[in-house]
A and B are shown apart, each in its own frame.
Chain A
Amino acid sequence: MNVELGFMLKKMFAVAVMPLSIGLILVLVALIFLYFNKIEKAKKYLKISIVWILLVTWAPFGDLMLKPLESAYPKLETMPKNIEYILLLGGDRDKRAWEALRLYQKIPNVKIITSGYSLHDTISDAEKTANKLMESGIPKERILMQELAKTTFEEAEWMKKRVGEQPFIIITAAYHMPRTMAIFKKAGLNAIAAPADFNRAQESGLFSILQSSQLEKTEHAWHEYIGLLVYKLQGKI
């Protein structure tokens, strides 16, 4: 299969299995039953979809799903010695890159590697992140870019060529860290986890329901569990 097509199919699949999409697909199924006058079935599916939406937008549910992922690696407090590189993985750069700034202040002479390809844009995600860091005061010569890898797996392969078994720090969102570390270890790399962008459970109460911020949590966790499963099946971790 064409590589680009395979990638697009993967992206489409990822959208279809998201919690909100599942809710909508259930509503759609209910509607189809309604059109065919299968009232009981329509009722059943509509009820399920409503319960589903309430569940995935309810704070305790999102927290419950995220917790096992986020508690796997704590915030990096003691700075390791003799570290040459910090790898800042691609993704939500606004949220993750703060951790790169923090570590940069604490580790002398460290270099930051930004990561991320370009899907539609003329400039890559790695370059956008690099620009952001430079605007915030990090000198250009302390930043390197990795612009080709599309997945965490490819990022590990790229890093292996660059550093081999030499230890380095890896930054990604806390919920994404278990999968990332599994991949990097499997590739024979010595990564030190510096999780960023922790979701703060205490900021939301029991009554936080029907909120898109809660949906975001559920979505992140959901995406990770599916990713872990897929990688496991493929033997990547």
Chain B
Amino acid sequence: MEYLHLLKEFISIILTPWIMGFIISLLSLLFLLLKQYKRATKFLTVSIVWMLLISSSTLGDLMIKPLESSYVKLEKAPKNIQYILLLGGEKERRAWEALRVHKLLPESTIITSGFTEFDKISYAEKTANMLIDAGIKKEQIKMFTQTKTTSDEAKEMKKLVGAEPFILITAAYHMPRAMMLFKKSGLNPIPAPADFYNFNENASVSVLQRKHLKNVEYAWHEYLGLVLYKLQGKI
């Protein structure tokens, strides 16, 4: 089990787009040392073109758009909703949506989620503290402090609400996978996607920017995750 987890981590690192570029230039160095100059030149050229491509607005926008356009911003919250589930990860970006939706549903409880790996306090607790600082009452927050994955979060939620509808908040690019997983688990989530990428139709094409690299990386990770979940029968 531990091995499998490590293997999974290793594969997901290797398959990160810019690390693939880095590995290609490592191979090029290897060919140089082996005096295979033609191959070295070829690999190095490929690596540079690859890096320019994955750090460009063109590819970044192209990859993230289909994921983000699956669900629109939640404008009207249905009445009688008791829980708002805020999935773990990138709390500073996602939790804004929890504040906004909570204004629409002042009686609801916000659930924060996430275990701890290196730190003393869990991610759920950190998120809760941030919300309390922002003015949410402590008694309107509930925490899942042991959840590692989206599957864990679905299991906990199933125990808590069963088939009752609730609001599900996560990053827009992550929403398609989260919704499939939650529905498959027999839950009735209402999507409230957060942290939309701010597309700029008027901006010219730009390269070598970390924000595009991040979009490519996140989108890539999502597509791989979708395929993997499908193969495992989770969605």
Contacts and interface: CB of A to CB of B under 8 A. Distances in A.
B209 A135 contact: no
B32 A50 contact: no
A120 B44 contact: no
Contact of A31 (B18, B44, B135): B44
A120 B133 contact: no
B32 A42 contact: yes
A137 B200 contact: no
A20 B41 CA distance: 21
| Interface of chain A: mostly helix, strand, loop or mixed | helix
B135 A98 contact: no
Contacts of A136: 96, 99-100, 103, 134
B161 interface: no
B229 interface: no
Contact of B22 (A31, A42, A53): A53
How big is chain B's contact interface, by range? Answer: 35 or more
B92 A94 contact: yes
B40 interface: yes
A121 interface: yes
A18 interface: yes
A219 B37 contact: no
Interface residues of A, number: 45
A142 interface: no
A219 B213 CA distance: 14
B92 A98 contact: yes
Interface in B99-139: 99-100, 103, 117-119, 130, 133-135
A66 B218 CA distance: 25
Given A135-B99, A212-B217, A39 B202 contact: no
Given A94-B92, A94-B195, A98-B130, A50 B118 contact: no
